[in-house]
Structure 1
Amino acid sequence: MQGSTPHLAWHETMELHELVAFQTGQLVAFKKKLPSLQDPELQGLYAEAIRSIESNLRQLLQFYPYAPGMERHAPAGHPELIGAESAQLLGFAKTAVRNYSIAITETATPELRCVFVAHLMQAIEFHAKVFNFMLVRGLYPAYNLDQLLAGDVKNAAQALAL
């Protein structure tokens, strides 16, 4: 980061975390799915997505040393890819909450709005379950930024190595 501030701001660090965590989960899922795809064109699209995400992660990970207070230690290990796989589920849950929230603001039919609201509440409850699963297992140390970012680096490195 030549010519700019010596570190990232807190808010951009959290956006960086969200992007890395989400893309890491998707990368794991896409790499696992690719060998089972039968359609060559769809295989090509998955391969392109994988290359794109790998490139994104490599670029984004270069900013982690500039995160506020980022300690230079490896996080405690977790079996296999549980961190990345649970992060993918958390990303799905967050996206569901966001999508239903947006859909509600665009809905004119009261009956459909009621269904969307019910689905939103279910999505919020599911998000809490996934978050707590990760928090209890040390996979999402929400109250420790150093550990959170170190976990991102570890999970992304595992996904890139697949």
Structure 2
Amino acid sequence: MSEEERKLLAWHETLEIHELVAFQSVGLIKLKMAVNKVNDKELKDLYRKVINELKQNVTELISFYSSVPAPVQREEESEREDHSFYAADLLTLLKTSVRNYSVAITETATPVLRKTLINHLVRAINGHEQIFRYMLKNGYYPAYDLGQMLENDLKNAHKALRM
């Protein structure tokens, strides 16, 4: 089968798209909630630009959900509890912190700074595990059900686009 004939995305592509859609949808919601609080015209214009770009990104990425190797059944869209949004926001912050601290540590030459960054990294990892467990327990992150996870992505993405 040629690359052009492939109808389904590879599993790893699906998971990368999931991460991008989940992260950008949360960011889009946060930016839309904040833009009207920004008084500086130039900064507000930057917010609007990024909002429009994220809307385009999310719209383009969710179009690939019809090609994922797991069934995604779109139900009627309903408003999700605020808890799931805030939990996803915290998960995203901690995941990004883990990545940023990991990179920063590789760039650090000063021993005391390196030790400090490692301590921060461990706290971010532990915090990520705690919020992940909370989300899993409450059904906000169905990590072992790819179809449900992608369906949740679509709900959140559509909510972000509608705002």
- Return the TM-score normalized by structure 1: 0.93
Matching residue's letter, 1:146: G
Matches for 1:95-110 after TM superposition, within 5 Å:
95-110=96-111
- CA deviation vs aligned residue, 1:99-126 (integer Å, no higher than 9, x gap): 1111111111110011001000000011
Deviations 1:114-158 (A, max 9, x none): 100100000001111111121111111000000000000000001
Q: Name the structure 1 match of 2:158.
A: 157
Aligned position for 2:9: 8
Cα–Cα, structure 1 residues 82 and 139, in superposed 2: closer, same or farther, change >3 Å? same
Amino acid across the alignment from 1:69: A
Report whether the alignment pairs 1:33 with 2:66: no
Structure 1 gaps of 5+ residues are none
What's the counterpart of residue 75 of structure 2?
Answer: 74
TM-score, length of structure 2 as denominator length = 0.92
Identity level (%): 43
Distance in 1 of aligned mates of 2:88 and 2:23: 7
Query: How far apart, in 1, do the equivalents of 2:99 and 2:18 lie?
Result: 18
**Hey, what does 2:84 align to over in structure 1?**
83
How large is the Cα RMSD of the aligned pairs?
A: 1.8
Aligned residues: 161
Q: Provide the residue aligned with 2:116 in structure 1.
A: 115
> Residue 76 of structure 1: CA displacement?
9.1
Match of 1:50 in 2: 51
